[in-house]
Amino acid sequence: MNWKFGFSGMIAGALFCAATTSALAEDVVIKVWSRADRSGPLRAGNIVAAGDTLNKMLAAAGSDKRVKIELNETNAKGYDDDALDLLKAFAVDKGPDIFVLAHEWTGAFAEAGYALNLEDHITKNPELYGDIIVPLWQSVSYKGARYGVPQDSEVRMYFLNNDKLRKLGKTDKEIGAISARVDAGEFTAYDLCDLAGQAVAKGVTKFGILHRPNAGPDFQMMMEGFGNVPYDKAEAKLQASKAGMKDFFTWVKYCVDKKAFSSTNTAMSWDNIEQAAFAKEEALVFFHGVWRVTDQSKAWNLKGKEDYQKKITWINAPAGKKGGKPSNLSHPIAYAVSAKSKNKDLAAFLVGLASQPYVNTRHAVTTNHTPINYGQQAMPEVIEKGWALVAATPMLKYASFMPNSPKIGQYNSIVFKGIQGVETGRLSADAAATFVIDELGNELGKDVIIRN
């Protein structure tokens, strides 16, 4: 055998191998972690779209490099469960490059060293982030730096079923006035329960008020009306007040006794709740966020704003006492980039691309979430399809965010158990307040300030 031939063959083979491996090596894999959430499939989908955009740019620039997005959608029950799973995954080096999280978890991920400080990236790329609504940044800031990019925002509210209110004997004028009376502090949380209890007692609806079945931000909005502020800004710590908790749980108990809250609510599945609240119209009041307009419009075949407002009234969470202030809560979902990622810059740019008006609007209008850019508010599509977002904006006057404390997830989980305890008749109002204060002390130790 001719050795030269063999040798050149070897060289060619080696070159070929090198060429193919380097071609493979040009595929940069970006892993994305997102909870499979029906109310926002495009949170992850927009990152995938950003990958496509970037690949087109790379192709145009003649580069062989390509981005491959590997999406891991999880089946956690809610954002809190999902965040715990994700923390665990990070702890064992199974973390993604980009992850979707509820904004109040940014603190936890920043503190653990898993979320990348994006301050530098954001300030250096104003062409990507310059139009984002300024107050939203607060939701992803922790200790003065931004660790995430808000992906959407929203408004929460009690949805009142007007048809059922009419059956209760309310006139259209009365119904139309409720929202303003809530904002003026005339219509209190107790009045709401009286109304809902009445509907159940008279057999107009099966449930009074239906709320989410698991821990989540909604309850903070309820609690605020009773003077519960979970965060002490000056001390930069979580806080809980014994008196505030007692007031809140006294109200919950009152609502339970009036049958405004159902003992089964926290055992129901989301599906049961949706069926009851929408298609079957078994609830007078449903408590969630503005993105539910999508489901409601579908369930009752409502066309546009006027049609919708004939059917549904929105109110803020009423104050606990007459003359008090109503409250609202905005709960942005955010993108974060892993501090452990090998491709931090690339991941950050993908987030930037996914935050641009066109893609973000796709998410906003299909699922009724508030857009993140100022400019989007003027887009014809938002104005046309996003009427609910425009209509809900005034409610944001009373809105706050959840604190970005690393332990807020635990805080919410404990409060939820207290609510579940009262609703299912396992705890009295006093016992629930004691339970929550005890558990907060036990679990959070010095991370929480207990006040009288």
Partner 1 sequence: MPDHARAQARREWANFGLFLGPALLLLFVFFVAPIVIDLVLAFTDMGRTLAVGKFTFENFERMFTRDTRLLGALGVTFVFVLLTLGIFNVTFALMLALMTTAVPPRLGAFFRAVWLLPRMSPSVVYALLWLWVVDPNERGLLNQIVINVFDMPAIDLRNNHPLLLIILANGFIGASLGMLIFTSAIRSIPEHLFHAARVDGAGAFAIVRHITLPALRWPISYMTIHQSLSLLVSFEYILLITGGGPFYDTTVFSLYAYRRAFETGEYAYGAALSLILVVIGVVAALALWRLMDMKQLLQPPRIEVH
Partner 2 sequence: MSAHDLVVDGGAPVRADWLALARRSWRRRVGGQSMLLAFLIVVSAPIVLPYFWMMVIAFTARTGGVGSDVLWTACAVIAPAVLIYSIVHMTVAAPRLRLIAGAILLVVVGGLLAALIGGRLHLDNFRFLWRADFVEEVRSKATSGAQFPSVWNAFFNSLLLAVAQTLIILTVSSLAGYYISRFAFRGRSAFLQGMLVLHAFPAMTLIIPIFMMLYWIGLLDTIAGVMLVLAAIELPFYVFVMKGFFDGVPWDIEMSAMTDGATRRQAFYMVVLPQVRFGLIAVAVFAFIRAWEEYIFVRTFLIENKNWVMSLYLFWVSDDVMGVDYGIVAAVAVFYVLPSFLLYIFCQKYLTQMTIGGIKG
* Separation between Cα atoms, residue 244 and residue 386, nearest integer Å: 37
* Separation between Cα atoms, residue 279 and residue 161, nearest integer Å: 12
Q: Quick check: 38 binds partner 2 (CB under 8 A)?
A: yes
- State the minimum distance, in angstroms, from the CB of residue 278 to partner 2: 11
Amino acid at 56: K
Closest CA to 180 of 361, 315, 65: 315
Is 28 or 256 the residue whose CB approaches partner 1 more closely? 256
- State the minimum distance, in angstroms, from the CB of residue 438 to partner 2: 24
- State the minimum distance, in angstroms, from the CB of residue 276 to partner 1: 8
Q: Which of these segments, 48-56, 106-114, 150-158, 304-312, binds partner 1 (CB under 8 A)?
A: 106-114
53 to 92: interface string for partner 1, x by CB under 8 A: -------------------------------x--xx-xxx
Q: Which of these segments, 15-23, 244-252, 392-400, 415-423, binds partner 1 (CB under 8 A)?
A: 415-423
* Separation between Cα atoms, residue 87 and residue 149, nearest integer Å: 19
Contacts of residue 186, Cβ cutoff 8 Å, sequence gap at least 6: 322
Contacts of residue 111, Cβ cutoff 8 Å, sequence gap at least 6: 142, 406
Residue 335 near residue 45 (C-beta atoms within 8 A): no
419-448: which residues touch partner 1 (CB under 8 A)?
Answer: 420-421, 424, 426-427, 435, 438, 441-443
- Binding partner of 41, given partner 2, partner 1, none, CB within 5-8 angstroms per partner class: partner 2
* Separation between Cα atoms, residue 246 and residue 229, nearest integer Å: 14
Q: Which backbone phi and psi does 451 adopt, to 5 degrees?
A: -115, 160
Burial class from Cβ neighbours inside 10 Å (0-12, 13-18, 19+) for residue 166 reads: middle
Is 236 or 279 the residue whose CB approaches partner 2 more closely? 279
Q: Quick check: 215 binds partner 2 (CB under 8 A)?
A: no
Torsion angle of C-alpha atoms 46, 51, 53, 58, degrees rounded to 10: 170
Residue 153 near residue 217 (C-beta atoms within 8 A): no
Q: Quick check: 192 binds partner 1 (CB under 8 A)?
A: no
Out of 89, 175, 184, 450, the residue judged to bind partner 2 by CB under 8 A? 89
Q: Which backbone phi and psi does 105 adopt, to 5 degrees?
A: -90, -5
Q: Quick check: 417 binds partner 1 (CB under 8 A)?
A: yes
- State the minimum distance, in angstroms, from the CB of residue 271 to partner 2: 4
What are the angstrom distances between the C-alpha of 112 and each of 85, 87, 116, 336, 348? 14, 8, 10, 13, 19
Q: Quick check: 401 binds partner 1 (CB under 8 A)?
A: no
Q: Quick check: 266 binds partner 1 (CB under 8 A)?
A: yes
- State the minimum distance, in angstroms, from the CB of residue 269 to partner 1: 9
Binding residues for partner 2, rule: CB under 8 A, are 35-38, 41-42, 44-45, 48, 69-75, 77, 85, 88-89, 92, 94, 269-271, 274, 362, 366
Binding residues for partner 1, rule: CB under 8 A, are 84, 87-88, 90-92, 108, 112, 114, 263-264, 266-267, 272, 409-410, 413, 417, 420-421, 424, 426-427, 435, 438, 441-443
